[in-house]
Structure 1
Amino acid sequence: MGSRLLNIQRRAAEHGRLRTGYTQGNRPMRSATWVVTSHSEEHVRTAAELWGGEPEAWKPLNSTIEQWRVITKASSIEALITPGDPLNQYNEMWSAGGCQRRCDGETELLSRQPCLCLRRFGEEWHQQKKGTVCSATSRLNVMLPDLSGMGMWRAETHSFYAASEWGGMVDMVLAGTDGRGFVPVTLRIEPRQVVREGQTKKFPVVVVELRGVTPRQALAGPMTAAVALNPAAGSQAVAAIEAPRPDYLAEAEGALTSDDVRDVWRKARAAGHVDPKGSDDLSKDLMAIAERKDAEAEPVEAELEPEGGWPAVAQVPTP
């Protein structure tokens, strides 16, 4: 392997964004389905083929650089969490002049002051009107395995509720994988609602959930890339490894006859634990036990038979 610059953090290129909203003119709109944006027309057209929607040229607000986007018809998409820590979270406030505040929940990092929103509005600061307080901003870098390119896609949400759920989910996965290996997930836009002061508020929340694997498998350690790309096949393989094989030899030893031993072999064959042709070691051991059972049965039958054989049955004359 070649060398790397040690003073530069290595990261994959960003191919585009996964959004839960779009702009209609200058008006922001929420979307119940994923919006895929990228500088690459190819990526966006492929996303449209996979998840529906019409690709179109598009410019973000306050930008003169043209990009591409598609408002898909999919509320769920498949993705991979990649090695490392894929999640960044801050409370942020943006304006046309850029980022005005970036807070870790305790300290506003640009001014190095204690959290301004918390100091002004208290623990329920996130319920204040948008624009007067920071937004809980979560950015999750994922790979989309069905799109071309080995780069990353950034899913971003400003939901206060998603912030805690994303952090909890990613931290549990990292606890099991130590930031090594890929993890298959589904990114799903889920409609939610809350009732505050007698009024019902509806909003979308992006949910990150395991795809095709159980928590046991996700927390057992790093997965191979093959398992992450095809979790259904990987789950079957893991299940086969985790399920203990019955002790067929002990069961055969406890059998009464050779026919019972052959029944044990048939059970092992049905479970896929022996070669149907009987050429594997387990089959050979079971056949040896069956032969021994036959040999042990012969003297018993001989002992029951009188020396010289059984006498002929006398014919009783018919009166």
Structure 2
Amino acid sequence: MGSRLRNIQARAAEHGRLRTGYTQGNRPMRSSTWVVTSHSEEHVRTAAKLWGGEPEQWSPLNSTIPQWRVITKASSIEALITPGDPLNQYNEMWSKGGCQRRCDGETELLSRQPCLCARQFGEDWHLQPKGRVCSTTSRLNVMLPDLSGMGMWRAETHSFYAAQEWGGMVDMVLAGTRGDGFVPVTLRIEPRQRVANGETKKFPVVVVELRGVTPRQALAGPMNAATALDPGSAGRARAAIEAGRPDYLADAESALTVDDVQDVYRAAHTAGHLTDDLVAALKKRADEVRAEAEKRDAGPDEDGAYEAEVVENPSGQPRWPAVAQPAQ
């Protein structure tokens, strides 16, 4: 592999934005479905094919540079959380002159003063009208695996309540993956409502949830790219293995001698089906069979035969120390 500059941070290009609203003239409008915007006409037209809607040219507020957008018909889209920490969150206040405040919840970073909104309005400052206080802004960089290009798409929300959920979800995933590898997720716009002071307020919240994998898989460590791109494949492969897997425990339960249990062990070993739980279960069954044999008369059986002596396994056969030895 080649070298990299050590004094800059490598990052993928940003292809566009995933929005929960759009502008109609100069009026901001909320959307119950995803709005995809990009400078690339190709990306927007592909998004329209995938999720519906009509591509159109569009200029953001306070900008003269045209872009492309599509107001899709999809409230859920598939995405990948990428390696590293994909989430940035600040309380921000913007004007035509740019960002006026950027606060981490404790310190306003531009002026290096304590949080101005909390100092003025208290801990419920976020309930103040928009424009009077900062807006809680969360930006999540994701990859859209079904669109061309290897760059990032930025999902952004200004919801105080979504910020709590995004932070919790991403931090749990990072605890399992340590920021390595990809994680398949669904970005879903969910309608919510809140009742306060006798008023009902309805608003959309973007929910980030695991897609096609269980918490056990997501928290077990980095998953390979093939599983992240097709998370259902792991489950299908596992189901196929389980469908063709013999019932080793049932075979062991019907065993009459330790040799019979060892045969079950060898069969599972050869098939690649041995697990720690199966080994423990077979060892337990071998101990039970051995205990049953010890209760019987040590003399010859009804056919006049003596029980065979247990010897070492032939060369090349899987070893059986766990079952052959008596339980301690």
- TM-score, normalised to structure 1's length? 0.78
Q: Distance in 2 between matches of 1:131 and 1:242?
A: 58
The residue number in structure 1 matching 2:118 is 118
Question: Sequence identity of aligned pairs in percent?
Answer: 82
Pair 1:85–1:239, CA change in 2 (3 A): farther
The residue number in structure 2 matching 1:180 is 180
CA contact (8 A) 1:226 1:234 kept: no
Q: Which amino acid aligns with 1:229?
A: L
The residue number in structure 2 matching 1:282 is none
Pair 1:120–1:185, CA change in 2 (3 A): same
Per-residue deviation at 1:235?
3.0
Q: Distance in 1 between matches of 2:250 and 2:27?
A: 73
CA contact (8 A) 1:211 1:231 kept: yes
The residue number in structure 2 matching 1:131 is 131
Pair 1:238–1:112, CA change in 2 (3 A): farther
Q: Distance in 1 between matches of 2:130 and 2:101?
A: 14
The residue number in structure 2 matching 1:207 is 207
RMSD: 3.1
Pair 1:302–1:124, CA change in 2 (3 A): closer
Pair 1:229–1:58, CA change in 2 (3 A): same
The residue number in structure 2 matching 1:81 is 81
> 1:45-60, aligned counterparts within 5 Å?
45-60=45-60
Gaps of 5+ in 1: 274-299, 304-319
Whether 2:252 is the aligned partner of 1:251: answer yes
CA contact (8 A) 1:78 1:186 kept: yes
Q: Distance in 1 between matches of 2:91 and 2:200?
A: 25
Q: Distance in 2 between matches of 1:246 and 1:228?
A: 31
SS of residue paired to 2:4: coil
Q: Distance in 1 between matches of 2:177 and 2:240?
A: 21
Whether 2:91 is the aligned partner of 1:94: answer no
The residue number in structure 1 matching 2:38 is 38
Q: Distance in 2 between matches of 1:239 and 1:175?
A: 28
The residue number in structure 1 matching 2:16 is 16
Q: Distance in 1 between matches of 2:197 and 2:107?
A: 30
SS of residue paired to 1:20: strand
Pair 1:302–1:242, CA change in 2 (3 A): closer
Q: Distance in 2 between matches of 1:302 and 1:6?
A: 81
The residue number in structure 2 matching 1:150 is 150
Q: Which amino acid aligns with 1:251?
A: A
Q: How many residue pairs are counted as aligned between the two chains?
A: 272
> 1:268-279, aligned counterparts within 5 Å?
none
SS of residue paired to 2:188: strand
The residue number in structure 1 matching 2:218 is 218
Q: Distance in 1 between matches of 2:17 and 2:242?
A: 38
Q: Which amino acid aligns with 1:228?
A: A
Per-residue deviation at 1:51?
0.1
1:288-308 per-residue CA deviation (whole Å, 9 max, x = no partner) reads: xxxxxxxxxxxx9987xxxxx
Greater Rg by CA: 1
SS of residue paired to 2:175: helix
The residue number in structure 2 matching 1:312 is none
1:27-80 per-residue CA deviation (whole Å, 9 max, x = no partner) reads: 000000000000000000000000000000000000010000000000000000
Q: Distance in 2 between matches of 1:161 and 1:249?
A: 51
Per-residue deviation at 1:96?
0.8
CA contact (8 A) 1:89 1:139 kept: yes
CA contact (8 A) 1:12 1:152 kept: yes
Pair 1:165–1:302, CA change in 2 (3 A): closer
Pair 1:105–1:48, CA change in 2 (3 A): same
Q: Which amino acid aligns with 2:152?
A: M
The residue number in structure 1 matching 2:231 is 231
Per-residue deviation at 1:251?
1.7
- TM-score, normalised to structure 2's length? 0.76
Per-residue deviation at 1:248?
6.2
Pair 1:255–1:37, CA change in 2 (3 A): same
Q: Distance in 1 between matches of 2:226 and 2:87?
A: 23
Pair 1:239–1:160, CA change in 2 (3 A): farther
Q: Distance in 2 between matches of 1:184 and 1:121?
A: 39
CA contact (8 A) 1:89 1:137 kept: yes
